[in-house]
Amino acid sequence: MSRPRFLAALLTAVFVGFTAGGGGPLSLAILTDSENNPSTFTSAVKFDIVAPTVTASVISKTPQYTPGYIRQAGTYYIYANVTDAGNPPSGVSTVTADVSTITTGQTAVALAAGSYSVGGVSYGYRSASVTANNPLTAGSYSYSVTATDASANSATQSGLTVTVDNTVPTGSAIQTANGSTTAGKAELGDTVTYTFSEPIDPQSILAGWTGASTSVVVRINNNASIDTLLVFNAANTTQLPLGSLNLRGDYLAANRTFGASGTASTMVLSGNSIIVTLGTASGTTNTVVTANNMTWTPAAGALDRAGNACTTTAVTEGGASDVEF
């Protein structure tokens, strides 16, 4: 390669390297070839004068699936997505949140870069656990997130909101329905609908559950003429906090599982309700002809969106007295 060509190639490589590499707020390349050319080559690269943008943020209780709600004295995370622009972007340096409306004095809580997910949405930044004031009146509260890039450009997204909910959920209704051939007989396809006073966070019922249909095992335990229905995880090893359902009838003469083999039982979240559909029965069941009203005792492990524990006050089946399933 000739000398001038070599010099041109070298300059191009250095310039491209500075342009693509970014890094610092200002990149300047100065090359001198005093032997062959006394002139000085100077290449000034554009720099980042554009502030980052907070594209999304949400506050959620810890742990959680459903975001946007906290309770007084509860712990929470702040999530955010931040992008930086510039020519080239110098990159996001710090992200902080002012949550002093819900936690006194916390005007600059640091959010760390990482890979986070809440409510089915991915976020690139999250705070450590923060504890809400106690007391903290229920209602909507504003907070802000500030992002700064490596060139010290800064932008604040204000007007973000989180809802404080201090009202504990309660059981409000319990019903079954015949989804198969015989009313009064527990079979594949029959349903149990547990209804609460407000939406329940699915993750409080089953780790990792989003509320979409998922496999479970239903157990109906024989207790003479007052058999009891419980819901277990898909492995049939851990009872889920859907409480205990007294069927008030002799639906079987020996303990049975539904969905442990064959067709799985399922549960799905729908508004304030969780609907359980029976899978394949492990053995014979009775057909009950005497109408009665069930009694459901909810479990405190069921949490609302803010993390308040459900009361365990029993709920009696409403409507006309009927047989179940």
Q: Which span (3-11, 85-93, 116-124, 226-234) binds Ca ion, by CB under 5 A?
A: 226-234
In the set 48, 98, 149, 165, which binds Ca ion (CB under 5 A)? 165
Nearest residue (CB) to Ca ion, 257 versus 308: 308
In the set 117, 167, 238, 316, which binds Ca ion (CB under 5 A)? 167
Q: To which residue do tokens 């007007």 refer?
A: 159
* By CB under 5 A, residue 325 contacts Ca ion: yes
Write down the least CB distance from residue 108 to Ca ion, Å: 30
* By CB under 5 A, residue 201 contacts Ca ion: no
Distances from the Cα of 76 to the Cα of 101, 127, 130, 132, 272, angstroms: 14, 9, 5, 7, 23
In the set 178, 191, 228, 265, which binds Ca ion (CB under 5 A)? 178
| CB atoms near residue 54 (< 10 Å) | 23
Nearest residue (CB) to Ca ion, 64 versus 308: 308
Find out whether 288 and 146 touch, Cβ atoms under 8 Å: no
Q: Which span (44-52, 130-138, 171-179, 269-277) binds Ca ion, by CB under 5 A?
A: 171-179
* By CB under 5 A, residue 304 contacts Ca ion: yes
* By CB under 5 A, residue 227 contacts Ca ion: yes
Nearest residue (CB) to Ca ion, 98 versus 304: 304
* By CB under 5 A, residue 190 contacts Ca ion: yes
Coil, strand or helix at 169? coil
Coil, strand or helix at 46? coil
Q: How close are the terminal C-alpha atoms of the chain, in Å? A: 87
Contacts of 293 (CB under 8 A, 6+ apart): 248, 316, 317, 318, 321
